[in-house]
Chains A and B, each alone.
Chain A
Amino acid sequence: EAQVTQNPRYLITVTGKKLTVTCSQNMNHEYMSWYRQDPGLGLRQIYYSMNVEVTDKGDVPEGYKVSRKEKRNFPLILESPSPNQTSLYFCASSLRGWGTVEAFFGQGTRLTVV
């Protein structure tokens, strides 16, 4: 089954403790992206990647890192999480350029930083 898998689904952590949210897709998609969703603000793009070893900042990249060493994986790294990074995070993938074909989304990771 074609899917984007994020882990974990729920995470509660403390300020400053490094964490990684994994994202994997099984569709051989070139494009992958991370979004955060906050009430009243909609979805905002954090980082995106157009291919292996190619990543770029979205609208809200501060406090996040990503890597794309393999085509299927696109982990989101929070080196020193802070409470303002409490949010619902989504990973998405697309066969090619954003907007030209549909994007597939993971089920989300609800992160709470205390």
Chain B
Amino acid sequence: SQQGEEDPQALSIQEGENATMNCSYKTSINNLQWYRQNSGRGLVHLILIRSNEREKHSGRLRVTLDTSKKSSSLLITASRAADTASYFCATDEGGSQGNLIFGKGTKLSVKP
């Protein structure tokens, strides 16, 4: 079952600009995570936000969570060419032993 759906599917920006990616999900969750994947490589965890949190920061990353709208956003500020990657949101299914379900991802291209 596909839980998270990212939007847009692809995003192309210039270095220095901000990049915003959105994720919508269907069922109630305990936590939502964002991961990054460089082309064809393994996923790397970026940030986890709990259902009782509304915003979280980590370096140039800012994540928001709106449980009433079942949506989250990932903002990358002052983007760099090295930020070029695919970004995925992942959610549990709300249960105590829920699976980690990924969306299809946003492909971000940052041009120097």
Interface residues of A (CB under 8 A from B): 4, 33, 35, 40-45, 48, 50, 58-59, 88, 90, 92, 94, 97-108, 110
Chain B proximity of A90: nearest CB distance (Å): 6
B41 touches A102 (CB 8 A): no
Q: Which residue of A lies closest to B46 (CB)?
A: A102
Docked pose: A108 CA to B42 CA in angstroms: 6
21 A-B interface contacts by CB (under 8 A): A4-B42, A35-B102, A42-B102, A42-B105, A45-B101, A50-B97, A97-B96, A98-B92, A98-B99, A99-B30, A99-B31, A99-B33, A99-B98, A99-B99, A99-B100, A103-B33, A103-B35, A103-B43, A103-B100, A107-B42, A108-B42
Interfacial chain A residues near B42, Cβ < 8 Å: 4, 90, 105-108
Chain A proximity of B52: nearest CB distance (Å): 13
Q: Which of A4, A59, A99 contacts B90 (CB 8 A)?
A: A99
Interfacial chain B residues near A100, Cβ < 8 Å: 30-31, 92
Assess A108 versus B31: contact at CB under 8 Å? Given A50-B97, A99-B98. no
Chain B proximity of A71: nearest CB distance (Å): 17
> Does B57 interact with chain A (Cβ within 8 Å)?
no
* Residue tally, chain B, CB below 8 Å to A: 29
Docked pose: A40 CA to B2 CA in angstroms: 12
Chain A proximity of B28: nearest CB distance (Å): 12
Interfacial chain A residues near B92, Cβ < 8 Å: 97-100
A99 touches B41 (CB 8 A): no
Assess A102 versus B40: contact at CB under 8 Å? Given A42-B2, A45-B99. no
Q: Which residue of B lies closest to A107 (CB)?
A: B42
User: 6 tightest CB-CB pairs across the interface, nearest first?
Assistant: A99-B92, A42-B104, A102-B45, A105-B42, A98-B100, A43-B102
A42 touches B40 (CB 8 A): no
Q: Which of A4, A97, A99 contacts B91 (CB 8 A)?
A: A99
